[in-house]
Amino acid sequence: MAKKGDWVLVQSTILQPGRRAPQVPEDTAGVPLVQWVKGRLTADADAGQPAQVITRTGRLVSGALVEEAPAYHHGFGGFIPELLKVQEGIRRAMWGGEDRP
């Protein structure tokens, strides 16, 4: 359970599929428009349950509690051997001869 004042991520649906703008692509129109907002809880809440947060800009936003202490979960992927070859080629072109650190 997340406690009042904890930094959390909440999710809410802004528009259902049938309410999307007519000019959006068909595959986009078929899914809801969802927002994720980070903020401090105004009251204790359990994951998946309705919660209300105050954002850093002072907005009051409601949604389902998704995550406590949210962090970034992105990366740049795995090692790509071809990119190493490109890097080595660039170093040779810039400095000539052998690779340098």
Distance CA 86, CA 41 (A): 48
- Mean per-residue pLDDT, 34-45: 98
- Mean per-residue pLDDT, 51-79: 94
- Mean per-residue pLDDT, 78-99: 86
In the structure, what pLDDT confidence band is assigned to residue 11 with cuts at 50, 70 and 90?
A: very high
> Per-domain residue ranges for the chain?
7-95
Q: In percent, how much of the chain has pLDDT > 90?
A: 80
Can you list the positions of beta strands (E) in 3-92?
A: 7-15, 33-41, 50-54, 60-68
- Mean per-residue pLDDT, 3-11: 98
SS3 47: coil
**Highest mean pLDDT range out of 23-32, 72-81, 86-95?**
23-32
Distance CA 34, CA 56 (A): 20
Phi-psi region of 81 (alpha: psi -120 to 50; beta: other; left: phi over 0): alpha
- The yes-or-no verdict on residue 99 having pLDDT over 60 is no
Q: Taking the alpha carbons of 75, 80, 86, 87 in that order, is the dihedral positive or negative?
A: positive
Distance CA 47, CA 67 (A): 7
